Structure 1
Amino acid sequence: MAKHAVFSSGTRLWKSVDCVKSQLRLELTLACGQSFRWRETSEGHWTGVIGGRVWTLTQTDDTLWYHVYKNKVEQTKGCDRKRRAGTSSLEENKSEKKFKGRVKEEEDEQVAVTPVKEEEQMLRDYFQLNVNLEELHTHWGKADPHLKQIADIFTGVRMLRQDPTECLFSFICTSNNHISRIQGMVERLCQALGSPLCQVDQTTYYDFPSLTALADSSVEARLRDLGFGYRARFLQQSAKQILETHGPQWLKGLRSVPYPQARHALRTLPGVGTKVADCVCLMSLDKAEAVPVDTHVWQIAKRDYKFASGSTQKTITDKLHRDIGEFFRNLWGPYAGWAQSVLFCADLKKFQKMKETLCLVQPKKEEEDEEEEVRTTCKKTKMKTEGKETVKHGKTKSACCKKATKCVKNERVL
């Protein structure tokens, strides 16, 4: 049985892509609610499924490392080859075995070239490594000082380019839900309807279900039994509608149409509102300008940007969603959805310790400036009181410093 790859065991099992952490940080990108299929299987090692293959990813300062596990079909073929080789070897003489061994090594070396290139391309596509994140941060920083402060701490948050079917049906599960529960639901969905890929450390990994599997008439009842509630009907009906009305390639085809058209098309599906449609547009359909708006983003807009429209409302209407989206698109530009993801990530409870470092760093600089101002004030007071008694001067200096320091502390608390 295969074991989860660990980088400390050596680099023999790993392949790599040049990628600095300012361009990608796995612990932020894979855990901020974009995809729900990644787990940290050991410290700094993330295991999940991309393109019907199981991957473990980790990184060093300037390199993204990846290991791809053989799926069940590949493992079976490997075992068959070994059995055939064992049977035939009894009938071959030593010279023939040596010759065939050399030929086999050469064949394996040639065959291995293509999968490595394919895997690297899949990884680059999944993380959209063609987009220069540092350049985006520079652009955002000029337009938005608040985002610059957050982005200086939360570097490396990228938008994934997921399979549209997986992205859509995962986000249908997000209605009135939280990340950890969504992860469990998506995992049960894959176990119930997806194909098994491989087993690693007694954990079986599954491919995401196909549209055909999701559209089956028995799916709703089966998913209700698994705790999906009303979402079970939306999942089955959306898959059925896509196949009957549009065809299996329709979702991927939405990548080539304008953002408003893609969002409108998605909203015709059962269980797909504006927020879910925007998530799918941003995270799988190449619509970098899409800004998904939920209660988190609404609070960010009101709290950090003094966004007043709809402030008296209790729910997010379609108009409010559009207004907030346009506000941020005008502020951040064509990659507004990427910028929003940085603020969304920073607002998650699991990352609050990182955000606290931002609050600590900024006041520290302000404190140093204010303390310097206190010293300057005290120095001027000393010059004015020069010639008076030492005791009296000492009291003046002490009172000045205490008063100024007290003011500094009160200002910082407010």
Structure 2
Amino acid sequence: MNNMVMLNHVSHFNIGQILESGQVFRFEKISDHSYLLNAKQKLIKITQQPDSSSVAIYNTTASEVEEIWMNYFDINTNYENITATLAAKDEWMAKAVEFGKGIRILRQDPWEMLISFIVSQNKSIPHIKACLKNITNKFGFPINEVDGMGEHYHSFPTPKELSRATEEDLRECKVGFRAPYIMDACQKVLNGDVILNDLYIMPIEEAKAKLMTIKGVGPKVADCILLFAYSRMELFPTDVWIKRVIEGLYFEGKDVKLEEIQKFASEYFGELAGYAQQYLFFYGRENALFKDISKKKA
């Protein structure tokens, strides 16, 4: 890979923590300090030495970094203020922020997030990654070969490209019962029943309701799509894993309904709820908090 661009003096940026925090799936770790990332119909390699505020992005240009990757990595958001505000909440939040202080919430493609989180239901992160790779290899287009390694990487298929898939095709990609959900998403987006760009300006509850007209999109999946594609930071996606973490840290291990978890997060974390969710998710998973209950599901 050629055409390397350096980002210098970037605080609160750890590429490993960002990519391993459960918000993105089309990446590969190639060494302790380097990752391949397939996003925005491009393939880049990102290298960052430990504790360094400099990041090297390969296979890009200065103009692409400015037009695509600065926004994608949320570079211009002040994470100094965000982390300070959250850390002041309580001891557990301070520990979570300190542990994952290099996390940034990516600004990803809505269509890719829709399909990714439909696929994510009841699957571990390695399984999600494998399914999405199967889908892109089968229905996307080759975009690059990596450093002579002989492996081609593929673009994420558009709704039109993916709509050509039959249910059998999708099941061959190991998505299981989610195959009809993916087909329904293609149909609704192509028919204009769901216009993804409109969700940027919709009130949050209206946007959630619109996404949930797609088969297989429930509250948690809708929240993930809106957080990771639309930067709706007031949302706190809640699955079994994060539910157990919140119960263990804030409710003395008592069983609490999902609605109560959501209400707590909204009131306690406010407009920073999405950031809090990512720090707590990463901290809880990496430290195996409540592992016996959660079983590390995404």
What TM-score does the superposition give when structure 1 sets the normalisation length?
A: 0.65
Across the two proteins, how many residue pairs are aligned to each other?
285
Q: Name 1:192's counterpart in structure 2.
A: 138
CA distance in 2, matches of 1:134, 1:14: 27
2:248 is equivalent to residue 303 of structure 1:
yes
Q: Which has the higher contact order (CA 8 A, sep 6+)?
A: 2
2:8 is equivalent to residue 63 of structure 1:
no
Q: Name 2:41's counterpart in structure 1.
A: 52
CA distance in 1, matches of 2:272, 2:186: 30
Match of 2:4 among 14, 22, 31: 14
2:225 is equivalent to residue 225 of structure 1:
no
2:86 is equivalent to residue 140 of structure 1:
yes
Mark the CA change 1:309 to 1:265 in structure 2 (over 3 Å): closer, same or farther.
farther
Which ranges in structure 1 are unaligned for 5 or more consecutive residues? 6-11, 70-114, 312-319, 356-414
Q: Name 2:209's counterpart in structure 1.
A: 264
Q: Which has the higher helix share?
A: 1
Contact 1:32/1:345 (8 A) holds in 2: yes
Match of 1:239 among 160, 173, 186: 186
* Superposition CA RMSD, Å: 2.0
2:265 is equivalent to residue 328 of structure 1:
yes
Superposed CA deviations along residues 86-137 of structure 1, whole A, max 9, x for unmatched, are xxxxxxxxxxxxxxxxxxxxxxxxxxxxx52233331111111121112111
Contact 2:74/2:106 (8 A) holds in 1: yes
**Percent of residue pairs bearing the same amino acid type:** 26
Cα drift, residue 26 of structure 1: 0.8
Match of 1:212 among 160, 165, 168: 160
CA distance in 2, matches of 1:177, 1:232: 14
CA distance in 1, matches of 2:22, 2:253: 27
Contact 1:36/1:179 (8 A) holds in 2: yes
Cα drift, residue 308 of structure 1: 7.9
Cα drift, residue 352 of structure 1: 2.7
Superposed CA deviations along residues 217-250 of structure 1, whole A, max 9, x for unmatched, are x432211123221111110111111211336xx2
- 1:352 partner letter: N
Moved more, 143-152 or 186-195: 143-152
Contact 1:211/1:239 (8 A) holds in 2: yes
Mark the CA change 1:307 to 1:322 in structure 2 (over 3 Å): closer, same or farther.
farther
Secondary structure of the residue aligned to 1:184 is helix
Secondary structure of the residue aligned to 2:95 is helix
2:75 is equivalent to residue 129 of structure 1:
yes
**Greater C-alpha Rg:** 1
Secondary structure of the residue aligned to 2:277 is helix
CA distance in 1, matches of 2:36, 2:217: 29
Superposed CA deviations along residues 183-237 of structure 1, whole A, max 9, x for unmatched, are 0000000001111101111111100010112223x43221112322111111011
Match runs of 1:67-82 below 5 Å: 67-68=58-59
What TM-score does the superposition give when structure 2 sets the normalisation length?
A: 0.89
Mark the CA change 1:307 to 1:209 in structure 2 (over 3 Å): closer, same or farther.
farther
Contact 2:184/2:215 (8 A) holds in 1: yes
Secondary structure of the residue aligned to 1:130 is coil
Cα drift, residue 157 of structure 1: 1.1
Which ranges in structure 2 are unaligned for 5 or more consecutive residues? 290-298
